[in-house]
Chains A and B, each alone.
Chain A
Amino acid sequence: MSHATTHEHDHHDEKPKGFVKRWLLTTNHKDIGTLYLIFALIMFFVGGAMALIIRLELFQPGLQFVQPEFFNQLTTVHALAMIFGAVMPAFVGLANWMIPMMIGAPDMALPRMNNWSFWIMPFAFAILLSTFFMDGGAPAAGWTMYPPLVLQGGKNVAFMVFAIHLMGISSIMGAINIIATVLNMRAPGMDFLKMPLFVWTWLITAFLLIAVMPVLAGAVTMILTDHYFGTSFFNAAGGGDPVLYQHIFWFFGHPEVYILILPSFGVISEIIPVFARKPLFGYTAMVYATASIAFLSFIVWAHHMFTVGMPLGGELFFMYATMLIAIPTGVKIFNWVSTMWQGAMTFEAPMLWAIAFVVLFTIGGFSGIMLAIAPADFQYHDTYFVVAHFHYVLVTGAIFAIIAAVYYWLPKWTGHMYNQKLAKWHFWLSVISVNVLFFPQHFLGLAGMPRRIPDYATQFAEFNMISSIGAFVFGFSQLLFVYLIWKTVKGGEKATSKVWEGAKGLEWTVPSPAPHHTFQDNAPVNDADLAHGGAH
């Protein structure tokens, strides 16, 4: 790659010509952000298609469409595609686009590494998805990849492990880039406690990423050596312990949950004040709450393992620690409601999605508190109640926040306003169907339906049918979103630089669409332009 030539372009204010230079060799944070977002959207539909096959099979009892082993492959790869392919790259894309603009930096600190960290992703997923076409099929032991089951997999084990290594390297490079950018590239006057919350939450997320992605890499490496090189990290016959894997995995896995949700908190904290025309309530409390959630995420991992037979002391510790997470999370929700309180609200698309986020994420939080109660978890664990819980947190949480962010910043990216009416149709269809999809799953879990099963007893038939109908409406509603984005990229009413009446922050001081290069002159920022410019 000719980095010297592409690097030159950083100093001009025009886009490189030609597809290869513009996209393959790009080091521009906005172009890389766009690439990440498009990739995430594609993977959202890939993972979504798998989810629809799953819901199709579960539409009624009996096996109609897929074989049980293919069903297990679908649930496994659906999760991996959505977590590592859709949600994480979408947030990295948003970070790439917005963080430099929000802190007044000309670009990310490490533009070339930025290019690599994106272009690794398509290869990682090509490897992962190619396993569907191999003898023995794709990995089928669940995204948690528990041994000994995962070790029964055939060739796909090596491909899965290699794909996860690549995704991990990509995420770590992305995280290092964000840390380096936020710590070193802020415009003069952009103090830490004046940074937008989206930047804050991403900074904390980036630290979580570099702390736990290597742990996942280690865990899957051990699976690889157990499978191919005769080690016995997790093999009881050789003196290993399968439960050890679960401890290592969830030491990664629980912070990973916050990696998926903390940037969402940032997005929502940007949007609500703008459309309430009122400053964010409790800015510093929000920063501290985010940091404490991140800290707590390291000491609660074993609440995913209450049924493995831990000693009483361990169960009590992890139960109490998990319950504690409700406190900083509660602070965030109360602060968002207080931001809306006494505001002058309007309900454009970003605000609608943000409000839906607050309500539905809170429902996911409530079921989270219920799951934290260890003795009750002996009933909830590994049932559809858990499925409902994490989909409320990740679909109506993380994915709703991503959609809200796209509606919020799309005019800034494209220079065009989108069709509000269409956007509201997209919203109402999605928000109703997503509840039809996931709310009945609470009942299924409580009534005793385990997760990850391709067929079920007949007393679960009604709610599964409702859930599947919701799934199809929700899935196809997302085509509206693609259509709307396409239309907005192609044209539409010209957007002003401020876009939204109540918008505040550096990104709204540059024209729409944002020029290829912004904040080249490193000028000091004006406190009046910032959402949190005043003293707190």
Chain B
Amino acid sequence: MRTEETQKKARKTIYITLGVTVLMFGFAFALVPLYNVFCEVTGINGKTGRISVAEASAQQIDPSRRVTVQFDGTVNSALPWEFHPKVLQMEVIPGKLYSTEFFARNLSDQAIVGQAVPSVAPGKASLYFSKTECFCFTEQTLQPHQQEWMGVTFRVSPDLPEDVHVMTLSYTFFNKGALTPEQLKQGEKIHGSVAKSTSAAEKSAG
């Protein structure tokens, strides 16, 4: 026979276990921000940091050390753009600010918004790689056949582990959708300049 007392105890057990269940469901979602923090601490997914120019210039420089930074550009096949770095690699001194450019061109007859996602290999180097300026901070819009040089300013931290000699900064450009003429008129989502289309672009359009 179940007595009143065991009923009461059982009810308490249910409340506690149900509480655990709800908590763990929440935990799954909490893992999303937790994972991002974890990645920032460990560099697990190759995401890079962003710093201000002031922070960057406050760092001391180790002029004797050289690190090779490779650049790479990937275009997702859903985006009809051309995209590649200006130079394949740079020798940098950790602590100093450097700038380089990536070339992007819209090959379509439509204005398209793209978003670049950065990634650094090896993952552990990403912790020591930060940018003061980057086209990946915002969405980029290119008009039909517009081409543009997109800049990135970065710094490799002097704290970079001794055993890292080469690192790769890779961007993948994804399609965030085409713009309708109405949106274009309203100037929505437009971050790139409209006026720069060149004769080369016109030639390929013809």
Q: Give chain A's interface residues, CB within 8 Å of chain B.
A: 106, 109-110, 172, 175-176, 179-180, 183-185, 210-219, 221-222, 233, 236-239, 241, 243-244, 247-248, 251, 309-314, 520-522
Contacts and interface: CB of A to CB of B under 8 A. Distances in A.
A251 B31 contact: yes
Interface in B23-59: 23-29, 31-32, 35, 39, 42-46
A210 B10 contact: no
B21 A172 contact: yes
Given A184-B13, A210-B20, A520 B117 contact: no
B17 A241 contact: no
B13 A109 contact: yes
B2 interface: yes
B1 interface: yes
A210 B44 contact: no
B124 to A, nearest CB: 5
Contacts of A247: 31, 35
B14 interface: yes
Contacts of A110: 10, 14
A520 B31 contact: no
Interface string B79-116: 00000000000000000000000000000000000010
A180 B8 CA distance: 11
Nearest to B173: A237
8 contacts: A175-B17, A179-B17, A183-B10, A241-B45, A243-B45, A244-B45, A310-B123, A520-B1
A222 B27 CA distance: 13
B197 interface: no
Given A215-B24, A219-B28, A237-B76, A179 B35 contact: no
Contact of B44 (A183, A185, A251, A311): A311
A214 B45 contact: no
A532 B29 CA distance: 43
Contacts of A237: 76, 115, 117, 174-176
A214 B22 contact: yes
A466 B35 CA distance: 45
B21 A311 contact: no
Contacts of A217: 25, 28
Nearest to A182: B13
Interface string B50-79: 000000000000000000000000001000
Nearest to B1: A522
Given A109-B6, A217-B28, A520-B1, 8 more contacts: A106-B1, A175-B17, A176-B14, A184-B10, A210-B21, A237-B176, A241-B35, A247-B31
Given A211-B24, A237-B76, A239-B117, A218 B1 contact: no
Nearest to B13: A180
A231 to B, nearest CB: 10
B170 to A, nearest CB: 12
B92 to A, nearest CB: 22
A241 B32 CA distance: 9
B9 A176 contact: no
Nearest to B20: A210
B172 interface: yes
Contacts of A311: 42-44, 122-124
Report the 7 A-B pairs with minimum CB-CB distance, sorted nearest first.
A218-B28, A237-B174, A214-B25, A214-B24, A180-B13, A109-B10, A215-B28
B160 to A, nearest CB: 14
B90 to A, nearest CB: 24
A314 B45 CA distance: 12
A106 B21 contact: no
Given A179-B13, A233-B32, A241-B35, A185 B6 contact: yes
Most A Cβ at <10 Å: residue of B31, B42, B176: B31
Contacts of B76: 237
A239 to B, nearest CB: 7
Most A Cβ at <10 Å: residue of B22, B28, B35: B28
A310 B117 contact: no
Contacts of A211: 20, 24
Interface string B162-206: 000000000010111000000000000000000000000000000
B24 A212 contact: yes
Contact of B25 (A215, A312, A522): A215
Contacts of A251: 31
A311 B47 CA distance: 13
Contacts of B24: 210-215
B111 to A, nearest CB: 18
A459 B181 CA distance: 58
Nearest to B3: A522
Contacts of B42: 311, 313-314
Nearest to A218: B28
Nearest to A233: B32
Contacts of A176: 13-14, 17-18, 21
Contacts of A241: 35, 39, 45
Most B Cβ at <10 Å: residue of A236, A237, A309, A520: A237
A254 to B, nearest CB: 15
B46 to A, nearest CB: 8
Contacts of B10: 109-110, 180, 183-185
B17 A314 contact: no
Contacts of B46: 309
Contact of A236 (B35, B123, B172): B172
Contacts of A172: 21
Nearest to B18: A176
Contacts of A312: 124
B20 A521 contact: no
A419 to B, nearest CB: 39
Nearest to B27: A215
Nearest to A237: B174
A218 B29 contact: yes
A221 B25 CA distance: 10
A413 to B, nearest CB: 24
Given A184-B9, A210-B20, A311-B123, A248 B172 contact: no
